[in-house]
Amino acid sequence: MVVKLGFNNTNSKGQLNKIRALASNTSWVTDKTAMINGVKMYRVATNEWVAASDIK
């Protein structure tokens, strides 16, 4: 997957991670998907998730 825009990711509880962010147009490997607060998310690191709407 490739991240559309730079943004902060969330944890598995849907809480924003303000310390770490993913850079725009960078590729990431994912190993799991989950529905978090009704949003389809992809895991990019341990307890770090990206919304499906934020990837291309």
pLDDT tens string 3-53: 665 566 777 888 877 777 788 788 888 999 999 999 999 998 888 888 898
For the chain, give every domain's residue range. Answer: 7-46
Per-residue pLDDT at 56 exceeds 60 = yes
What the block records as the tokens of 42 is: 């992809």
What the block records as the tokens of 29 is: 């490997």
Per-residue pLDDT at 55 exceeds 60 = yes
Q: What is the pLDDT of residue 32?
A: 95
What the block records as the tokens of 9 is: 């990711």
Q: What is the pLDDT of residue 7?
A: 61
Long-range contacts of 40-48 (CB under 8 A, 24+ apart): 41/10, 42/1, 44/9, 45/9, 47/11, 47/12, 48/9, 48/10, 48/11, 48/17, 48/20
Query: Does the predicted TM-score (pTM) go above 0.95?
Result: no
